[in-house]
Amino acid sequence: MTAYVSAFDLFSIGVGPSSSHTVGPMRAAVDFVERLQQSGTIARVTRVSCALYGSLGATGIGHGTPDAVVAGLRGLHPETVDPAAVRNAWTNYPENEPLNLAGEHEVAFVKADITFEPRTRLPGHPNAMTLWAYSGDEVVAEETYYSVGGGFIRREGQGESLGTRSFPYAYRDAESLLELCDEHGLSIAEIARHNEESLRGEAEVAEGLDAIWNAMAGCVDAGLHTPGVLPGILGVKRRANTIREQLEASESDGHRELPGEWLGAFALAVNEENAAGGRVVTAPTNGAAGILPAVAMYWWRFLADSGLGQGNAVTPHGELVGSALLGFTSEATEPNPNNLSEEELADANRRRGIRRFLLTATALGSLFKANASISGAEGGCQAEVGSACAMAAGGLTAVMGGTNRQIENAAEIAMEHHLGLTCDPVGGLVQIPCIERNAIAASTAVTAARLALRGDGTHYVSLDAVVETMRQTGIDMSTKYKETSEGGLAVNVIEC
């Protein structure tokens, strides 16, 4: 067994506002309908229903869960669906209109066919849902699913949807990951890259990582250029667009760029897009989706060309690693194999840096998923924002030329200072305090990276100790502080 999760599972392109409440339930509904098709049962089905338990029932409406279920039953996938097709799919469902399962078979459906059971908590996970298919009054299919965070689902009686994979570089914790790096003279990013290349070719890995970054950067850009008010009863105003205008005006007046303020704007932009149900990348969840893109964009815009992001990491054995920022063979051996222009070469170097950033973050994020949790319903917001902050801190340290132990130290610093963070969304919406929380965590990630880079990688508290502490804290945390909106800000702030 290994902790490693592929970057293309951990960073999945989907829709907002929640990976566990929107993306996961949509995938569960898709899986349910596909099973009806595979068994030949779908032709007999006359009606379907769904019960949302625990956290899915408590904050499902605010997170768009029933809308996602309807979209999934229609056969729409979060990776490819037009976000507009998900918004209000259940909320504004037309009366007396049949539901077209998988786009091929019409069944009777009314809004009351999706029920909310917040007081019923199934033992498998706080985010649970059961789907039924009927032929007349007869139940012809029944499946229970758990949305375990980050868009991952687990069907009752089986493992998670990504299945069990073996990788050439297997590790269970940060200590064994560092030992692997020492033994083979590899960076953390290179360990992840070799694991990815056991599933797909080198070019496909690079192209896939570029696609993830393009989606992240597109989300940042969309959020920076979209004014208005977010959906929901709170009437929260978008701020990223206004901040962008202010910063651009300041720069045009001859004032210096303000990297720290841009960093916050990048994070706000992504999470405002997420709250609006737009196209986002789970990183590793939707509620924490702004942190990694913000820190990566901060490096891309302010550090990549300064020399600070061009350094080589040195393994404990003394070998240089990542001389081309990622170390893909063709790029490492020839600095400019295609005779690119200076601008094109700079862009290529930045892209190699982003790949290194994402692969490092993947290797670290896998540790949180395997040994603790990335689900707010299971571990509180420490599991979402804390994990994302640690992943971003490690990724930034890597592209700043940090050693493997400095990377591990940065992740530890970032996570340590999110221990105990509760998940208490006001009104069950991924808006307050979630949007600002991503901006603060992005700043923490940068601070953690800079602190780690000033040291030699040795430190008192290990990343493994912090991960285990996070796991224990999540178990001890009261349920009302874990995505149920039954405690904290959710009950102490007037919604309207």
Structure tokens given for 488:
């904290």
Q: What is the pLDDT of residue 323?
A: 34
pTM for this structure? 0.89
Read off the pLDDT of residues 155-192 as tens digits, 9 standing for 90 and up.
998 865 544 578 999 999 999 999 999 999 999 999 99
Task: Please classify residue 316 by burial: count the beta carbons closer than 10 Å to its beta carbon, then call 0-12 exposed, 13-18 middle and 19+ buried.
Answer: middle
Residue 49 to residues 139, 344, 354, Cα–Cα distance (Å): 10, 53, 43
Distance CA 194, CA 213 (A): 19
* Inter-residue contact 60 to 137 (CB < 8 Å): no
Q: For residue 168, how many other CB atoms are within 10 A of its CB?
A: 11
Instruction: Please state the rounded mean pLDDT for residues 131-136.
Output: 97
State residue 495's pLDDT score: 59
| 325 backbone φψ class: left, alpha, beta (φ>0; ψ -120 to 50) | left
> What's the pLDDT at 335?
59
- What pLDDT, on the 0 to 100 scale, is given for residue 318? 29
The percent of residues above 70 in pLDDT, for the chain, comes to 92
Task: Tokens 């949790």: give the residue.
Answer: 373
The whole-number average pLDDT for the span 456-466 is 96
pLDDT in tens, 413-425: 999 999 999 999 9
- Which residues, at least 6 apart from 301, have a Cβ–Cβ distance to it below 8 Å? 259, 262
* Domains delineated in the chain: 21-148 (3.30.1330.90), 174-492 (no CATH)
Average pLDDT in the chain: 91
Q: How much is the pLDDT for 326?
A: 42
> How far is it, in rounded angstroms, from Cα 133 to Cα 40?
13
Residue 437's closest CA among 295, 323, 307, 290? 290
Contacts of 183 (CB under 8 A, 6+ apart): none
- Whole-number pLDDT of residue 325: 36
What is d(CA 423, CA 433) in angstroms, rounded to the nearest whole number?
A: 9
- Cα separation of 418 and 401, whole Å? 25
- The predicted-structure confidence for 301-358, as pLDDT tens digits, reads as follows 999 987 544 443 333 322 333 333 344 543 444 556 667 788 888 889 999 999 999 9
pLDDT per position as a tens digit, 265-308: 999 999 999 999 999 999 999 999 999 999 999 999 999 987 54
| Residue 256, φ and ψ in degrees, nearest 5 | -70, 155
Q: What is the pLDDT of residue 337?
A: 63
- What is the rounded CA–CA span in Å between residue 171 and residue 191? 10
Is 424 strand, coil or helix?
coil
Confidence band for 256, pLDDT divided at 50, 70 and 90: confident
Two structure tokens written together for 253: 């007046």
Residue closest to 216 by CA, chosen among 295, 319, 110, 102: 295
Is the pLDDT at 485 greater than 50? The verdict is yes
